[in-house]
């Protein structure tokens, strides 16, 4: 399957600082990437859809001014958590969408995730 | 809005048993359904993906079925092993594949040695 990387894998920061998380598709081009977050003992929730060269689409309840998404190339999307607070502590996972290996079906491939802890 | 429900929430069985995990979704107009495994503190491992036109997929000891009209999927694990212990997540996508995934809350599986 296709490979998606995320960096960093974990980050600890002080309240009020900004944190940038990178999501890269290593062996394919992805016009669309997705960002999810997972709070402890909860399932994954879609935060936003990132489209290359255009503005991201945010899910209801997700603050677009707090979670800045940039998808400047076909292999890189970044999520910046601005003025992070302890309630933003979570596991953030990205996925990249590509046509499937056969039949032209779309499929999402997931990165390994980034654990953010805000003190 | 699509909702995905997984039953049971937790399951503990002795090693060697065959088991079934259930997933249901409210909107049958899905593009595909995917089963994932998540180990504690880790990311997702994709297990099986079923396109909306398919009825089932198999990989080793795993078999997933899809009944789109009734909004149900099952994941069958044969001859369970302690290494199968993990949380299993079911997820669906719609919008012709353009939408993000909607996940269930998962089934936390423990296989007793």
Distance CA B46, CA A1 (A): 10
**For residue range B52-75, what is the model confidence (pLDDT) as tens digits?**
999 999 999 999 999 999 999 999
The per-residue pLDDT for A99 is 63
CB contact at 8 A, A94 and A109: no
Average pLDDT value for residue range B31-47: 93
Strands B32-38 and B44-51 turn out to be: antiparallel
CA atoms within a 13 Å half-sphere pointing along the CA-CB vector of B22: 8
Confidence of residue A40 (pLDDT cuts 50, 70, 90): confident
Greatest alpha-carbon span in chain B: 43
A12 versus A100: the higher-pLDDT residue is A12
Q: Best mutation site among B4, B10, B42, B43 for testing chain A: the one with the most A CBs within 10 Å?
A: B43
Confidence of residue B45 (pLDDT cuts 50, 70, 90): very high
Among B43, B97, B105, beta carbon nearest to A106:
B97
**For residue range B9-21, what is the model confidence (pLDDT) as tens digits?**
999 999 999 999 9
Nearest to A93 by CA among A31, A2, A22: A22
The per-residue pLDDT for B104 is 96
The SS3 of residue A39 is coil
Question: Distance, in angstroms, between B40 CA and closest chain A CA?
Answer: 10
Q: Please work out, in degrees rounded to the nearest 5, the angle formed at the alpha carbon of residue A35 by the alpha carbons of A31 and A38.
A: 160
Average pLDDT value for residue range A4-19: 96
The pair of structure tokens assigned to A72 is 């400047």
Using a CB-CB cut-off of 8 Å, the residues of chain A touching B100 are 34, 36, 46, 49, 59, 95, 108
The per-residue pLDDT for A104 is 65
Using a CB-CB cut-off of 8 Å, the residues of chain B touching A115 are 41
Using a pLDDT cut of 90, give the percent of chain B over it.
Answer: 91
CB spacing of A43 vs B89 below 8 angstroms: yes
Using a CB-CB cut-off of 8 Å, the residues of chain A touching B52 are none
Q: Does A3 touch chain B (CB under 8 A)?
A: no
CB spacing of A44 vs B101 below 8 angstroms: yes
The SS3 of residue B82 is helix
Question: Distance, in angstroms, between A82 CA and closest chain B CA?
Answer: 23
Cβ contacts below 8 Å, chain A against chain B, sum to 56
For residue A66, which phi and psi values (nearest 5 degrees)?
A: -95, -35
DSSP one-letter string for A18-37: -EEEEEEESSS--SEEEEEE
**For residue range A66-106, what is the model confidence (pLDDT) as tens digits?**
999 999 888 999 999 999 999 999 999 999 997 655 556 78
């Amino acid at each position: 399957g296709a490979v998606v990387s995320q960096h960093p894998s974990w980050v600890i920061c002080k309240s009020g600082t900004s944190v940038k998380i990178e999501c890269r598709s290593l062996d394919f081009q992805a016009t669309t990437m997705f960002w999810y977050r997972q709070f402890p003992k909860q399932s994954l929730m879609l935060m936003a859809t990132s489209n290359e060269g255009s503005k991201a689409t945010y899910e209801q309840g997700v603050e677009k001014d707090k979670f800045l998404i940039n998808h400047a190339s076909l292999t890189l999307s970044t999520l910046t958590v601005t003025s992070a607070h302890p309630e933003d502590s979570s596991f953030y996972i990205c996925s990249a969408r590509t046509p499937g290996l056969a039949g032209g079906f779309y499929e999402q491939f997931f990165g390994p995730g980034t654990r953010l802890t805000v003190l | 809005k699509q909702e995905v429900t997984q039953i049971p929430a937790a399951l503990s069985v002795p090693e060697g048993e065959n088991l079934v995990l259930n997933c249901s979704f409210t909107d049958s107009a899905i593009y595909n359904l995917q089963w994932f495994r998540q180990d504690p503190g880790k990311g997702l491992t994709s297990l099986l993906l079923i396109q909306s036109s398919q009825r089932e997929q198999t990989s080793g000891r795993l078999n997933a079925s899809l009944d789109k009209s009734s909004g149900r999927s099952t994941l069958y694990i044969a001859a369970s092993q302690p290494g199968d212990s993990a949380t299993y997540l079911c997820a669906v996508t719609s919008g012709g594949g353009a939408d993000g995934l909607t996940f269930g809350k998962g089934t936390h599986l423990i296989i007793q040695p």
